Homo-oligomer: A and B are copies of this chain.
Amino acid sequence: MNIGVLGTGMVGQTLSGKLASEGHEVVIGTRDVDRAIARTEPPRPGMQSFAAWHEENPEVRVGTFAEAAAHGEILVNATSGTGSLEALRAAGAQNLGDKILIDITNPLDFSRGAPPSLSVSNTDSLGEQIQRAFPEARVVKTLNTISAPVMVDPTGVGGGDHHIFVSGDDADAKAEVTRLLGEWFGWRARSVIDLGDITTARGAEMYVALWIRLMMGRGSPMFNIKIVW
């Protein structure tokens, strides 16, 4: 499958590498290809630089946001939350078309230091902003409630017995994303909870404020929540 992944951070790297290793044709999109490939400093302590990652994952083609968006039958938005709308505008509405846009972003605002607050929340969400800016695209918010390694290997946490969410206005797109999460990463269909329309992305994004504190307390992002009843 042709997949366009926007964003070269930890989420973009992890998903692109996993998808390419399964034989998908992946283009990872960035603002400035030459600059991205030349980037030898890690984005965060403990992570590898994009240059090092790129060398280890030569099967993932690096392109502009527009090239990645044009390439993909399915698109994954893994850009930083505060840069997402700009990245998607660079990708171009004509390249997004009415494709499924899997939106993994969180609107994290580090301008006041860590832990971050959210740049949009409560009465709006980044998922909604993206859907409003690109009304033809079929935005499905998902995976934003977990760390990248858990996204691509749910069984790595509690044997996979925990939940993620999908939010979006297009029921078929949510069903297709749920199917793809299973096919790509092994998510069981019963682990994927449909929260409702795209306004429910507020809940999924606001939960991240709790996730951050749990992560800080545990000293590890390798966890998730299970809904128990």
Report whether A122 and B122 are in contact in the complex, using a CB–CB cutoff of 8 Å: yes
Those of A113-161 within 8 Å (CB) of chain B: 117-118, 121-123, 157-158, 161
The stretch among A28-36, A57-65, A189-197 that forms the contact with chain B is A189-197
Report whether B228 and A214 are in contact in the complex, using a CB–CB cutoff of 8 Å: no
**Given the complex, which residues of B lie within 8 Å of A213, measured CB to CB?**
195-196, 200, 203
Interface SS of chain A: helix, strand, loop or mixed? mixed
Report whether A228 and B157 are in contact in the complex, using a CB–CB cutoff of 8 Å: yes
Indicate if A93 sits at the interface (CB-CB under 8 A).
no
Query: Which of the residues B117, B123, B196, B225 comes within 8 Å of A225, measured between beta carbons?
Result: B225
Report whether B209 and A207 are in contact in the complex, using a CB–CB cutoff of 8 Å: yes
**Given the complex, which residues of B lie within 8 Å of A121, measured CB to CB?**
121-122, 206
Indicate if A1 sits at the interface (CB-CB under 8 A).
no
Q: A118 to B212: give the CA distance in the assembly, Å.
A: 19
Indicate if A222 sits at the interface (CB-CB under 8 A).
yes
Count this chain's copies in the assembly: 2
Known: A209-B206, A217-B194. A226 touches B228 (CB 8 A): yes
| Closest chain B residue to A145, Cβ basis | B210
Q: A121 to B29: give the CA distance in the assembly, Å.
A: 34
Report whether B217 and A195 are in contact in the complex, using a CB–CB cutoff of 8 Å: yes
Query: Which of the residues B122, B193, B210 comes within 8 Å of A214, measured between beta carbons?
Result: B193
Report whether A117 and B123 are in contact in the complex, using a CB–CB cutoff of 8 Å: yes
Query: Which of the residues B112, B203, B229 comes within 8 Å of A209, measured between beta carbons?
Result: B203
- A to B CB contacts below 8 Å, 8 in the list: A122-B122, A194-B217, A195-B217, A202-B209, A203-B213, A206-B210, A214-B227, A222-B229
Closest 7 pairs (CB-CB, A-B): A158-B228, A203-B210, A223-B229, A206-B206, A203-B209, A225-B225, A206-B209
